[in-house]
Amino acid sequence: MNQPSSKDRTPILRIERFQNWLRFIRYEPIALVAAIVTVLLTYLVLAPVGSMLVDTVRVQIRDSATTGLEVGSYTTYFLHRVFVSRVSDRLFWTPLARTLIIASVVTLAALPFGAFLAWLTVRTDLPGKKILSSAMVIPYMLPSWTFAVAWLNIMKNRRLGGLPSIAESFGFSPPDWLAYGAFPIIVCQALHLFPFAYLLFGNALRSVDSQMEDSARILGAQKGVIARRIILPLLKPALLSAFLLTFSRVLGSFGTPYILGSPVRYLLLPTALYSSFQVGTPGVSAVIASVTILLGMSLIALDMYFVREYRRFVTVGGKGSMSRLSALGKWKWPAIIFAGLAFIITTIIPLVTIILTSIMYRPGVFSLSNFTLDFWFGRYISIMPGQQGLFLNQSIIAAAWNSFRIAGAAAVICGITGLFVGYVVVKMPNSKTSAFLRQVSFLPYLVPSIGFAAACLSFFAVRRGPVPSLYGTLTLLIIVMSIKYLPFASRSGISAMMQMGNEPEEAARVAGASWGKRMSRIVIPIQKHALITAIMLPFISGMKEQSLVIMLATPGTEVMTTQILRFIEYGFSQLANATVLAIVVIIFFVTFLMERITGSNLASGFSRS
Amino acid sequence: MKKLIVLLLVCTLALPLFAGGQRDAAPAPAAPVVEEEFDLEALIEAAQAEGELVAYFTSGRIDAVGNLFEEKYGIRVRGTKMGDPEQAERVIREVDAGNVQVDVIGFEDGPLLETQLIPRGYVQSWVPPDLKDVISEEDQNPLVFLWQPRIFGYNGEVYADGSPVNNVWELTEPQWKGKILIRDPGLTPAHLGFFASMITNHQMLEQAYVDLYGRQLVTNEENAGWEFLKRLFQNDIISFRSDSDVGDAVGSAGQTDPPVGFYVLTKHRDNAAKNLSLTTMQGLQPFMGYALPTYALIVKDAPNPNAAKLFVHFILTEGHYPWTGRDIGAFSSNRTIPPHPLNEGTWDEWTQKLLPVDNVQAMRMRQDIMDFWLEYGAN
C-alpha cells in the first residue's frame, strides 16, 4: 500500500476531466447512450434470462414433485437427464439433430426463395410488382400454425381419421411422409418464414447504388464479377440477418412441428421442451431452452465475425444514389408465372382457406345451404349457443382493442430502442459494448416464450428499488413484449445504421449541430423506413403472440390470440378462423396506414428507397 | 476510463433493481374471513364488499359461470381458461412474490395439488359447511367440484352393431395398429396418472388377459400394467392436441375404417353440432377409462377470499348448470344435482367402470411413466 495512487495525486485534474467530458458528451453522447441502453437491456433481458438459466440446476416446486428432490436445492439431475440418461436420446439428441437439419433446410429453402422474389420486385420491371411487394408479407402476418392446419386439411390421410382431406376427396391418399413429419414441417416453416429474407434482401437491394455497377462496368468488369465482387458483398449483412432470424425462429417454434409432427410422433427440440414444461419438469425444459440459447448465441458470434467487413460497404452516403431496373426481356413470362405461383401458394391459398372456413357451417361441404355469414354478422349462431358473429361479439371486440393497444405500445418502444441499439453498435464497432448489445438484444428471440414469461412473472412481481411491482398491470405485458420482439428492431436498426455512412452526421457536426439535433434532423429522418420496419415487425408478432400473454395477462385482459384458443377449445373453429382473419386485417390495415402516412413501405424498411 | 466511471455510477444506482426485491408495504388488510358458524348471507355480504373475482379454470365454461355469478350476486368475475402447468406456475410465482392476483382456481392436476400445492400452502381446499352432507367424503379433501369420465369411444355409424373392442388388450393387437387416438400423454399429466393406476391395479389387466386369450400373460416387465402400456405404446398410438380433435377424428360421418379414441365424455355434445357418431365402449373390460376430477381451490392470500368462497359455493350449487345441465358428460360432486339425462348413468354407476387415480402414487410414478412413454411411444 505504499505506492501513491493516482486518485490522491490528481483530484482536481480528475474533476476537470470529468467536466470536460460532460461538455464533450453534449456533442458526442454516444458513450452515455451506450451506457443507458446497456443498463436497460441488462436489467430487462439478462435478469429474466439469467433466472431461467439458474433453473437448469435449481429444483423448482413442480420439479420437486416429480423427482423427489428438495425445492431450492441445486442438482445436476436435469443436465444428466437431458444429456446422458436412458431417455436422453429420445428426449434430446435425436430431436436436436432433427431440429438442426430441419432449420438448415428451411433456411436453405426460404433464403433463395425470398431473395429471388425480392430481386423481382425491387430490381426488375415485373408487372404488378407493387401488389406483389405488399402481399409477400402476408404469410408472416398469419399465425404460424395456420399453414400446418391448412396442410393437414389438404394432405392428411386416414391415419388421422375424421373428415376426408382435400387430396383424399380427389381420390389420392397421401403417404405418411407427405402428410406428416419432416417434409411438411419444412415446407410450412419455409412458407411462413421466407418474408424475413424477402424484406431484408429487398431493402438491401434497394439501397445498392446502380452507379457502383455502372462504374464497375465502365472499368470493364464482367457481369459475373459484378455480381460476385459488388452485389453479393453488399448483400452480406442482409444475408446474415435473414439467416439468423430464419434459422433461430425454426429452433424455437412450437406450433408447426407439433401439429405436423405428433401424428407420427416426430419430436423436435421445441416440442420436447414444451412437453417437459407441460408434464412438470421445468428444469428439463430450462436445460433444453439453454441449449437453444447457446445455439443462437453461436450464430450471433458468427454474425459478429463479419461485422468489420460491413463497415466497408456503406451504401447510404451523403451523395445521391440511383437505382435502375433490369428489363426481364424474354424472361418476363416465366417470371410472371413464378411470382404468380408464389403469390397463390403463400398468400391466396392460406387466406382463402381461412375465409372459407369462416363462412361454412361444416367444412368441406360445398352446398349453398352450408354457407352463412352468421359467424361474421349473426346475432345468434345456431350451432354456437351464446356466441355472436365477429362484428357483434363484444368479447372479440374488446380483445381486439387490447391486442392493438399492447402490441402497438410495445412496437413503438421496440422501434425506438432498436434504433439506439443499432446506433451504438455501429458507432462503437469494435468495443465490448457493441458486442454485448448485439448478443443481449438478440437473446429474447431465442428464449422460448413460455419460459421467458414465467421468469418475467417472478422477476417483475416484486418491487425492485424504484421500479414498482408491475405484475398485474398492462405495463408489464407491454414491457415484456417489447423485450421479446426487440431483436427484430435491433436487427433492423443495426442493418440500417450499418449502411449509413458517417458523412451526413459529420457534415452536421461541422455545422455545429448538437447531438439531439443531429439525431432528430438527420439520423432519424434518414432511418425513417428502418424505424417503420422496426416498429411493424414487433407489432405483427405482438398481435400474434400467445404464450407470453397467457402467462402474464391478468384475467380480463383477453387478447385476440387467447380468444382464438378458447374458440378452438370449444370447437368453434369458424369463429376462431374469423378472428385469425381479423388479426390479419388489422395488421394489414395498420401497415397500410403507416405506409400512407410515412410514404414508405414495410418492404423498404431497412434503408432509404 | 470516463466510460467506466459512468458505467460504475449507473450500476451503483441500479443496484437495488437487481437486489432481492422488496415487497410492497402490506396491502390494506383484507376483510375478515368468515369462518366457523356458516352464514351464507354473511358470506354474500362480505363477498359483495370485495372487488372483482379473478378465476383461472381449466374449463372454458368459466365465462358462462362467471356471467351467472355476476347476475346473481353483482360480483364481476374475470375468468380465464388456463391449463394446469400455467396455473401452477402462476400461482406458485404469485404467492412467492407476495403479489397474488388470482382468487380461485379450477385445477385438474391432482397429483401436483396433493403432493405440493396444498402441503406447501399455495392453495387451500375449502368445503362450504352447508354442503358437507351432500358431497361425498372422498370428494372433500381436496374439494372436487366436477367429475368427468375420460373413456374409450368409437364411431357408432360404422360399428352399428356395437363396440368393436370389448377388452382393452385387443387394443394392443395388430388390427388396431396406428388406429388408436389419444390426447398427447406428453402434454397431459392426467393421462400419466391413469397409466400409473393401471400399473398399481395390474391384477385387473392380468385377469383381463386371461379372460381374452385363455392363458396367463408372460412378461419381462415388472407386471401386467407395464406390459400393457408397452404394447399399447408400441402399437403406434397417435397423439392429438386435444380431446376435441380426437373426438372429431373418431366420430366424423362418412368414414369406412375409422379409428377408436380416448377422450372426455363431454365431447359427445358435438354429436349433434358436428354430425359425429361418437359412442362409448360400454362393457369394455376391465375398465372403460378413468375418473377425471376438477378441483376448486382458494389461493393463499387471495385478494377476495370471501368472494372466492362464495364462488366455490356457487359452482357446487346452481352455478353448476353450464357444466352439468347445459352440456352432457360431467357430474357435480354435489349429489343433489341430477346428472344430465344423456350421461349414460349416474356417477356412482360410472365409477364402477372407471379406474380411480391415486394422486400421491401417480406423482411418485410420473417420471418413470414419462420415460416409458418416451422410450416406447416417441419416434
Among A34, A454, A472, select the one facing B99 at the smallest CB separation.
Answer: A472
B130 shares a domain with B45:
yes
What 8-state DSSP symbol labels residue B372? H
Examine the domain organization and report whether B129 and B191 are in the same domain: no
Based on the domain organization, do B121 and B197 belong to the same domain? no
Grid cell listed for B154: 368409437
In the numeric block, which cell numbers belong to residue B330?
A: 360431467
Closest CA to B54 of B87, B92, B97: B87
- Assess whether B113 and B160 both reside in one domain: no
The grid coordinates of residue A454 equal 414465467
How far is it, in rounded angstroms, from Cα B175 to Cα A528?
64
Domain-embedded: residue B33? no
Residue B260: beta bridge partners?
B180
CB B354 within 8 A of CB B288: yes
Can you give the pLDDT at residue B34?
Answer: 47
Shortest distance, CA A310 to any CA of chain B (angstroms): 26
- Domain total in chain B: 2
CB-based burial label for A583 (10 Å; 0-12, 13-18, 19+): buried
**B12 to chain A nearest CA, in Å?**
11
Using the Cβ of B192 and the Cβ atoms of chain A, whether some distance falls under 8 Å is answered with: yes
B185: in domain = yes
> What does the DSSP assignment read for A191-224?
HHHHHHHHHHHHHHHHHS-HHHHHHHHHTT--HH
The per-residue b/e assignment along B57-87, b for 16 or more CB within 10 angstroms, e otherwise, is: bbbbbbbbbbebbeeebebbbbbbbbbbbbb
Cβ atoms within 10 A of the Cβ of A571, count?
21
Which of A15, A23, A71, A275 to probe by mutation at the B interface, max B CB count within 10 Å? A275
* A232–B contact, CB cutoff 8 A: no
| Residue A405 near residue A399 (C-beta atoms within 8 A) | no
Tell me if chain B has a CB within 8 Å of the CB of A93.
no
Total residues belonging to chain B: 379
pLDDT of residue A475: 85
A473: left (phi over 0), alpha (psi -120 to 50) or beta: beta
Residues of B in contact with A375 (CB under 8 A): none
What whole-number distance in Å separates Cα of residue A191 and Cα of residue A72? 44
The boundaries of the domain holding residue B237 are: 149-290+355-377
Check whether residue B233 and residue B259 sit in a common domain: yes
CB neighbours of residue A179 within 10 Å:
24
Q: Are A248 and A291 in contact (CB under 8 A)?
A: no
> Which residues of chain B make contact with A28, given a CB cutoff of 8 A?
none
Q: Does B115 touch chain A (CB under 8 A)?
A: yes
The answer to whether B327 faces chain A, any CB pair under 8 Å, is: no
Q: Which of A535, A416, A449 is nearest to A254 (CA)?
A: A449
Task: Kindly determine whether residue A464 and residue B54, on different chains, have CB atoms separated by under 8 Å.
Answer: no
d(CA B112, CA B124): 13
A330 touches chain B (CB under 8 A): no
pLDDT value for A74: 93
Nearest-CA residue of chain B relative to A46?
A: B18
Cell of A530: 428502418
In this complex, do A458 and B97 lie within 8 Å of one another by their Cβ atoms?
Answer: yes
State the complex-level ipTM: 0.82
Look at residue B175 in the predicted model and tell me its pLDDT.
95
Residues of A in contact with B120 (CB under 8 A): 61
| A330 Cβ neighbours under 8 A, 6+ residues apart | none
User: Is A281 part of the contact surface with chain B (CB cutoff 8 Å)?
Assistant: yes
Answer yes or no: are the C-beta atoms of A462 and A390 closer than 8 Å. Answer: no
User: Which chain B residues touch A282 with a CB distance below 8 Å?
Assistant: 89
Query: Grid coordinates in use for A50?
Result: 439469467
Q: Does B240 touch chain A (CB under 8 A)?
A: yes
Interchain pair A39, B10: CB under 8 A: yes
B224 in any annotated domain: yes
Buried b (16+ CB within 10 A) or exposed e, A11-42: eeeeeeeeeebeeebeeebbbbbbbebbbebb
The residue assigned the cell 349473426 is: A378
Q: Judge if B170 and B137 occupy the same domain.
A: no
Same structural domain, B272 and B322 = no
Taking only the tens place, the pLDDT of each residue in B242-252 is 888 899 999 99
Are B206 and B303 in a shared domain? no
Same domain, B230 and B369: yes
- Render pLDDT for B230-269 as a digit per residue (tens, 0 to 9): 999 999 999 888 888 899 999 998 898 999 999 999 999 8
- Distance from C-alpha of B373 to C-alpha of A543, rounded to nearest angstrom: 36
Testing the interface with B: which of A13, A33, A61, A573 to mutate, by most B Cβ within 10 A?
A61
Which DSSP letter does residue A3 get? S
Q: Strand ranges (DSSP E) for chain B? A: 53-57, 77-81, 104-107, 123-124, 144-155, 180-183, 238-240, 260-264, 278-280, 289-299, 331-332, 354-355
Length of chain A: 609
Q: Give the β-pairing of B144-155 and B260-264.
A: antiparallel
Supply the DSSP string of B309-365, one letter for each residue. Answer: HHHHHHHTTGGGIIIIIISSS-EESBTTSPPPTTSSS-HHHHHHHEE---HHHHHHH
- Closest residue in B to A29 (Cα–Cα): B3
Model confidence band, residue B13 (pLDDT cutoffs 50, 70, 90): very low
Q: Is A383 on the interface with B (CB under 8 A)?
A: yes
Q: Is residue B47 part of a domain?
A: yes
Residues of B in contact with A262 (CB under 8 A): 184, 238-241
Query: A257: distance to nearest CA of chain B, Å?
Result: 12
Are B133 and B164 in the same domain? Answer: no
Q: Which residues of B are less than 8 Å from A468 in CB distance?
A: 24
A-proximal residues of B, 126-165, CB under 8 Å: none
- Please give the Cα distance from A295 to A443 (Å, whole number): 11
- Angle (CA) B179-B182-B184 rounded to 5° is 125
Q: Which of residues 71-90 of B touch A (CB under 8 A)?
A: 78-83, 85-86, 88-90
Asked, for residue B11, whether it belongs to a domain, the answer is no
Interface of A with B in 393-432 (CB under 8 A): none
Between A21, A457, A550, which is nearest B82 by CB?
Answer: A550
| CATH (domain of B200) | 3.40.190.10
Judge whether B102 is closer than 8 Å to chain A, CB to CB.
Answer: yes
Q: Is residue B2 part of a domain?
A: no
CA dihedral A190, A193, A198, A203 (to 10 degrees): -150
Quote the minimal CA–CA distance from B131 to chain A in Å: 29
Residue B234, in any domain of the structure? yes
The pLDDT of residue A315 = 60
Chain A CB within 8 Å of residue B243 CB: no
Backbone angles phi, psi at B178, to 5 degrees: 65, 20
Q: Please tell me the CATH code under which domain A41-319+337-357+393-604 is placed.
A: 1.10.3720.10
pLDDT in tens, B14-60: 444 544 444 444 444 444 444 557 899 999 999 999 989 999 998 87
Question: Cell 433456411 appears where?
Answer: A107
Cell 449483412 belongs to which residue? A237
Question: Which whole-number Å values give the CA distances from B257 to A157, B178, B250, in the listed order?
Answer: 12, 12, 10
User: Tell me, what's the pLDDT at B220?
Assistant: 93
Backbone angles phi, psi at A449, to 5 degrees: -50, -45
A262 and B240 within 8 Å at the Cβ level: the answer is yes
Q: Do A35 and B3 touch (CB under 8 A)?
A: yes
Position B308 scores a pLDDT of 97
Instruction: Give the DSSP per-residue string, A132-177.
Output: HHHHTTHHHHS-THHHHHHHHHHH--GGG-SSPPHHHHTT----HH
Whether B27 is covered by a domain: the verdict is: no
Say if residues A477 and A550 touch (Cβ distance below 8 Å).
no
- Cβ-based contacts of B79 with chain A (< 8 Å): 555
Report, as ranges of residue numbers, the positions in chain A whose pLDDT lies below 70.
1-11, 24-28, 307-324, 363-364, 385-386, 499, 554-557, 569-571, 599-609
Cell reading at A333: 413470362
Contacts of A36 in chain B (CB under 8 A): 10
Best mutation target, A58, A62, A267, to test chain B (most B CBs within 10 A): A62
Q: Mutation test of the interface with chain A: which of B56, B90, B95, B194, choosing the one with the most A Cβ atoms within 10 A? A: B90
Do B202 and B114 share a structural domain? no
Looking at residue B169, the DSSP 8-state letter turns out to be G
Q: What is the DSSP letter of A467?
A: B
Among partner residues A35, A66, A464, which is closest to B16 by beta-carbon distance? A464
Residue type, A383: I
For residues B122 and B227, state if they share a domain: no
Q: Which residues contact A389 (CB under 8 A, 6 or more apart)?
A: A373, A374, A375, A376, A377, A378, A379, A381, A578
B316, B332 Cβ separation under 8 angstroms: yes
A35 → closest Cβ in B6, B244, B261: B6
Give bridge partners of residue B238 from the DSSP assignment: B181
Has residue B9 got a pLDDT over 60?
no
Does residue B55 belong to the interface with chain A, where contact is any CB pair within 8 Å? Answer: yes
Q: How far does B41 lie from chain A, in Å, by closest CA?
A: 28
Give the per-residue pLDDT at A606: 38
The predicted-structure confidence for B159-216, as pLDDT tens digits, reads as follows 999 999 999 999 999 999 999 999 999 888 899 999 999 999 999 999 999 999 999 9
pLDDT value of position A307? 60
CB pairs under 8 A between A and B: 223
* A553/B259 touch (CB, cutoff 8 Å), yes or no: no
Provide the CA A159 distance to its chain's centre, in angstroms.
34
